[in-house]
Amino acid sequence: MSVVIPVYQGERTLGSLVAELEPLTQARSTPGGRRMVVEEVLLVFDHGPDGSADVIRALAREHTFIRPIWLSRNFGQHPATLAGMASSGGEWIVTMDEDGQHDPAAIGGLLDTALDEQATVVYARPTNPAPHGALRNSASKTSKWFLAKALSGGESTKFQSYRLVLGEVGRSLAAYAGSEAYLDVALGWIAGEVVSSPVALRAEEGRPSGYRLRTLLSHFWRMVLSSGTKGLRLVSLIGVLFSFCGLVIVVYVLISYIFFDVGDEVRGWASTIVVLLFGFGAVLFSLGVIAEYVGVAVKTAMGKPPYLIVSDPAQGPLGRRE
């Protein structure tokens, strides 16, 4: 197995997480009696604001199973995860967060589920509420439901950053996924059976979440765009709906003038303005959605990479300060 950990703010949590992973680097049995071993732990440095880089270097000197992966700048969690997948060599790839939420002891259960159900992707299914607060948990469930139902996102309700992926599937995905692709949506394009396995989440180890409202909204929007052209079809549906409403209003006005006495005074200016504003708002929203799809296509055509791996800056020209 290869364990991939994108690192953004791991200065205070990486040491204890690696200490929990270290026993798994010796061959052992899963709960189902299979033999497994973690051969490498890839720490992907994503240029966070703390001292994670120094911690990664110290851990690499101390443990032979640690493999640092250095990105040229901050790309985000999903591109960092893809970079780790591309650099891995295990038959299976485990991805997990740096903050201590994900218990490494559950890796064996994920592998048992994959082999029992012949699945190429296994997501951790939390058996307890995520330690993020009721508002964020509700927003996460709602967005996943919307993607699964409204945009036919398939397995989106299972999405979790704690996942087990067949090695060749993960490395193939990292080879072709575009810069705007949402990792889990892209996995669904090629994965065979996708299942989940029960795992208890732990509290984050005394550090604030690296996600802010803007970041979470960006993740949701990337999920929508990566789901295909369903968003554009929704735009078309909105256009048809407003056209039908306009037709109904026209019929109502004609019937009123023909069969009822409406008088000579001018009426309905407020209603007319409301309809115009609402209609123009729908048009502008639709154009905005189309523009987002065009933007994704342009970035893909220009060859924008989802990540770029470089050497350790401290060991290269940037590290020569004298």
Q: Give the DSSP letter string of 251-292.
A: HHHHHHHHHS---SS---HHHHHHHHHHHHHHHHHHHHHHHH
Distance CA 322, CA 311 (A): 19
Count of CB atoms situated within 10 Å of the CB of 138: 11
CATH topology of domain 2-208+306-313: Spore Coat Polysaccharide Biosynthesis Protein SpsA; Chain A (3.90.550)
The confidence score (pLDDT) of residue 244 equals 72
Task: Place 155 in a pLDDT band, splitting at 50, 70 and 90.
Answer: low
β-bridge pairing 28-29 and 309-310: unpaired
> What are the residues whose beta carbons fall under 8 Å from the beta carbon of 4, sequence distance 6 or more?
42, 44, 81, 84, 85, 88, 93, 94, 95, 96
Residue range 112-139, pLDDT digits in tens: 999 999 999 999 998 887 655 555 556 5
SS3 304: coil
Specify the DSSP element, H or E, that contains 114.
helix 107-117
β-bridge pairing 66-71 and 309-310: antiparallel
Q: What's the number of CA atoms in the CB half-sphere (13 Å) around residue 254? A: 6
Query: Over the range 20-54, which residues count as b (16 or more CB within 10 Å of their CB) and which as e?
Result: ebbebbeeeebeeeeebebebbbbbbbbbeeebbe
pLDDT score of 286 more than 80: no
The confidence score (pLDDT) of residue 165 equals 94
pLDDT score of 211 more than 80: no
pTM of this prediction?
Answer: 0.72
At 187, give phi and psi (nearest 5°).
-60, -40
Task: Place 313 in a pLDDT band, splitting at 50, 70 and 90.
Answer: confident
Distances (CA, A) of 133 to 138, 145, 180: 9, 19, 28
pLDDT score of 269 more than 70: no
β-bridge pairing 40-45 and 2-7: parallel
Count of CB atoms situated within 10 Å of the CB of 239: 13
Question: Taking CA 303 as the corner, what is the angle to CA 300 and CA 308, rounded to the nearest 5 degrees?
Answer: 115
pLDDT score of 281 more than 90: no
Residue range 163-208, pLDDT digits in tens: 999 999 999 888 887 777 778 878 877 888 889 999 998 876 655 5
Average pLDDT, the chain: 79
pLDDT score of 264 more than 70: no
157-160: long-range contacts, CB 8 A cutoff, minimum separation 24: 158/123, 158/125, 158/194, 158/195, 158/196, 159/123, 159/184, 160/123, 160/124, 160/125, 160/126, 160/196
Residue range 27-83, pLDDT digits in tens: 999 999 999 999 999 999 999 999 999 999 999 999 999 999 999 999 888 899 999
Distance CA 5, CA 162 (A): 10
SS3 188: helix
The confidence score (pLDDT) of residue 137 equals 57
Averaged over 98-118, what is the pLDDT? 93
Highest mean pLDDT among 72-76, 263-267, 287-291: 72-76
The confidence score (pLDDT) of residue 208 equals 54
pLDDT score of 19 more than 90: yes
Residue range 230-261, pLDDT digits in tens: 666 666 667 667 767 766 776 776 677 677 66
Between 221 and 57, the more confident residue is 57
**Is-contact 134 206, C-beta < 8 A?**
no
Task: Place 276 in a pLDDT band, splitting at 50, 70 and 90.
Answer: confident
Task: Place 214 in a pLDDT band, splitting at 50, 70 and 90.
Answer: low
The confidence score (pLDDT) of residue 68 equals 97
